[in-house]
Structure 1
Amino acid sequence: MELNELTPHPPARPPGYDPERQAPAPAGRTRENSSTAFLDGLRGAAALFVFIQHSIGSFDYNVHEHGFGEAGHWHLASLPFVRILFNGGGAAVAIFFVLSGYVLSRSPLRLVRDGKTDACLGSLVSAVVRRPIRLYAPPLAVTLAFALLLHAPFHLVQELPWPQRKDDVFLEVMNWVVDAAHFFNPFQAHSNEAWFTYSIVVWTIPIELKGSMLIYGLSALHASRWLSAPRSVLVWSIAAVVLLQMGFWTMACFIGGLILACLDVYALDVSFLSRYCSQRIQTVLQHVAFVVGYYLLCQPAHDGDPDYSLNTPGWHMLTALIPRAYSKNQYYRYWTSWGALLLVYATLRIPWLQYLLKTRPLRYLGRVSFMFYLIHLPMQYMVGDRVARMFGHVPPFAPKESWWDNRLHVPDVGPPGFNTRFLLSTAIMLPLNLVAADFLTRVLDMPCVRLGKRLVQRLGLENRMSSRKAETEG
């Protein structure tokens, strides 16, 4: 889920050489901002959406998930374009998958474009070895720690309806081992309807691994030059549309990211549009893609209740067009996938959007986003619930009363999403989560990245790639 998975230093090029085969430079892709740093910011914003959605539910009992104007609901948090901040978890996951498809394929495609096929294949072999470590080691460590914390003294983790605490630590660890072996097995179906006992958010991790391997395979196929870049985009586009229609939205998002990378590396869309459209028209089209994608990502969504979307003004027809392959728990995945593709495409083209996403806070969120994503629910179980109850938010379904209930009682005023107790709790929990995420990024995430690199070195893959490259150049 990182941006530096396959990004070797670009080779030196002669003066005046255009990296996009001398095609017109895409709007928003100048020499100054040609890096993908702004995608860090987009990933950080998406991680923030997940955090807020998982935090707000107990404060308004999910009334913000209703569509604006649906069944008499007129909440500010449900407004189009605003609701993604409060109910953007599903949108964020689609964005994560599209970004992964783009980032993982961009460097191999550039190597193929520059005629460095051997280097491309070598980097893909290295990535295949490193990627499972990168994706699996951190969530395994975090969930094991959470399993142990269930038995920490002073009830650090409160009694939860799920997972149920085992009788002792030994049984807990054994249960974790069995569940982890089953869940993280990549050779089985995964979706958000099948959760890991010790963390409901890691359902995306095995899918990330499968999608990564799919991207590596398609990139290797492209390296064979069996199809030209335009024909590859056509074939991949057909595959992505078919997968989306059949309900396989996760792999469609990965392939969509691959398509965007190919468009970017070979400047195919800009070359095509520049023949028929002025720069102003291209800018308008890019902003239309942004607005439409943003709107689709804001679809009213609640697992098991398509009526939330079907009965919302402006969403009836779109909801009716969702293929029947999507269940009641998955219906919103169709349009959020399209929205993610359009939004990421627009982000790659619109300079002011890139400038916004490259601001320091968003880039910082992007840097710690993986650990932020993994630890925000354990932090909620250990600290967040206590903070909310301290301010007076004691849900009726909560377990027995605690000594910290109403210690700093605050009247709960304001509409859902903007009510005082939620805002105060978020103001405390967000910094705490970021501190923990920053610490774990340094002591867990980055060492896992280095571990993968060392394993590649131990296996001699880098030496073989270097030798092969020398033989080719010789």
Structure 2
Amino acid sequence: MLWAHQADYWPMILFYGGCMLAELAVRQSTLAASTNDIFSVAKTGKLYSALCILGFICGLYLGGQPNQDYEHAPGWAMLWSLIPEHVTQPQRYWCNWGSLLLVWSTANFGLLQCIFTTRISQYLDKISFSLYLVHGVVIHTLHYSLLDALWNFIGTDTHLKKETAFLVSAVVVTIVIVWMADLFTRLVDVPSVKLARWLEGKCIVKTPAIKVEPAWRNSDTIV
């Protein structure tokens, strides 16, 4: 992870960070099971809960890193000054650390997990891969053209008109993205997974497990 930071390779920072968080979660579960759930009791304490909430708030704050005019945002002038000089995409720097804080705090605090266990959240999780695939296409085709048309129709002479046009475009594009992701999941993603599992079953030879009986069960050895 330190190498990725020095190499300015932010995707690997997130990858290694996710691996570390997953390993930490496994070790915490193992520790809790081996110590009569003492660790789980500690995780329900007020201090630990406050730490998770603080981490979540800090993650949201860092995730909202401004791309420009950061000197007018509270605290961001100092944070921008802390970004290493070798970073070529400084606008992504604090967002990376913010995302790791969000994942850690959410994974370790039940109250925050409730946000992601609702039916809507689980549905979005189901189509998340399809959302990742189709959102760029919809944004670059529908959103930009629709936003220009709305700006021409509503006007751009005031901030209210510009933001209203953007809001209308965002709502329409969001609906279209979710709809296309749902179709892609049903028509492409799920059938592809089923096909891959079917091919795996045809290509892999399953050998029946041979049960080896202990020597003492052999009738010849029984006196």
TM-score (norm 1): 0.38
CA distance in 2, matches of 1:311, 1:269: 46
Task: Tell me if 1:378 matches 2:137.
Answer: yes
CA distance in 2, matches of 1:281, 1:411: 51
Deviations for 1:158-207, whole angstroms, at most 9, x for unmatched residues? Answer: xxxxxxxxxxxxxxxxxxxxxxxxxxxxxxxxxxxxxxxxxxxxxxxxxx
Q: Offset at 1:427?
A: 2.5
Deviations for 1:35-67, whole angstroms, at most 9, x for unmatched residues? Answer: xxxxxxxxxxxxxxxxxxxxxxxxxxxxxxxxx
Residue 324 of structure 1 corresponds to which residue in structure 2? 85
Q: 2:176 aligns with which of 422, 432, 435?
A: 432
- Assess if the C-alpha contact under 8 Å between 2:28 and 2:39 holds in 1: no
Task: Tell me if 1:295 matches 2:39.
Answer: no
- Assess if the C-alpha contact under 8 Å between 2:8 and 2:86 holds in 1: yes
Q: 1:339 aligns with which of 73, 98, 103?
A: 98
- Assess if the C-alpha contact under 8 Å between 2:56 and 2:105 holds in 1: yes
Residue 16 of structure 2 corresponds to which residue in structure 1? 255
What secondary structure, in the 3-state scheme, does the structure 2 residue paired with 1:300 have?
coil
Q: 1:387 aligns with which of 142, 146, 166?
A: 146
CA distance in 2, matches of 1:349, 1:441: 30
What secondary structure, in the 3-state scheme, does the structure 2 residue paired with 1:322 have?
coil
Residue 354 of structure 1 corresponds to which residue in structure 2? 113
Q: Classify 1:375/1:422 alpha carbon distance in 2 versus 1 (closer, same or farther; 3 Å).
A: same
CA distance in 2, matches of 1:262, 1:417: 49
Residue 194 of structure 2 corresponds to which residue in structure 1? 450
Deviations for 1:392-426, whole angstroms, at most 9, x for unmatched residues? Answer: x24xxxxxxxxxxxxxx335587479821112222
Q: Offset at 1:275?
A: 9.9
What secondary structure, in the 3-state scheme, does the structure 2 residue paired with 1:353 have?
helix
In the alignment of these two chains, the number of paired residues is: 209
CA distance in 1, matches of 2:10, 2:213: 42
More helix by share: 2
CA distance in 2, matches of 1:247, 1:432: 35
Task: Tell me if 1:284 matches 2:43.
Answer: no
Deviations for 1:311-336, whole angstroms, at most 9, x for unmatched residues? Answer: 64412232222223311xx1133322
Deviations for 1:438-466, whole angstroms, at most 9, x for unmatched residues? Answer: 111111122222233234323317x36x8
Alignment of 1:52-131 (within 5 A): none
CA distance in 1, matches of 2:187, 2:134: 14
Q: Offset at 1:282?
A: 0.9
Residue 217 of structure 2 corresponds to which residue in structure 1? none
5+ residue gaps, structure 1: 1-239, 302-306, 395-408
- What is the letter of the counterpart of residue 372 of structure 1? L
RMSD, aligned α-carbons: 3.5
Q: Offset at 1:292?
A: 1.5
Q: Offset at 1:285?
A: 1.1
Q: Classify 1:417/1:448 alpha carbon distance in 2 versus 1 (closer, same or farther; 3 Å).
A: farther
What secondary structure, in the 3-state scheme, does the structure 1 residue paired with 2:154 have?
coil
Residue 421 of structure 1 corresponds to which residue in structure 2? 165
**Identical-pair percentage:** 30
Residue 246 of structure 1 corresponds to which residue in structure 2? 7
What secondary structure, in the 3-state scheme, does the structure 1 residue paired with 2:90 have?
coil
CA distance in 2, matches of 1:472, 1:418: 75
CA distance in 2, matches of 1:268, 1:358: 20
What secondary structure, in the 3-state scheme, does the structure 2 residue paired with 1:290 have?
helix
What secondary structure, in the 3-state scheme, does the structure 2 residue paired with 1:299 have?
coil
- Assess if the C-alpha contact under 8 Å between 1:413 and 1:419 holds in 2: no
TM-score (norm 2): 0.75
- Assess if the C-alpha contact under 8 Å between 2:131 and 2:178 holds in 1: yes
Alignment of 1:44-59 (within 5 A): none
- Assess if the C-alpha contact under 8 Å between 1:247 and 1:326 holds in 2: yes
Misfit runs of 4+, over 3 Å: 268-278, 307-313, 380-391, 409-418, 470-474
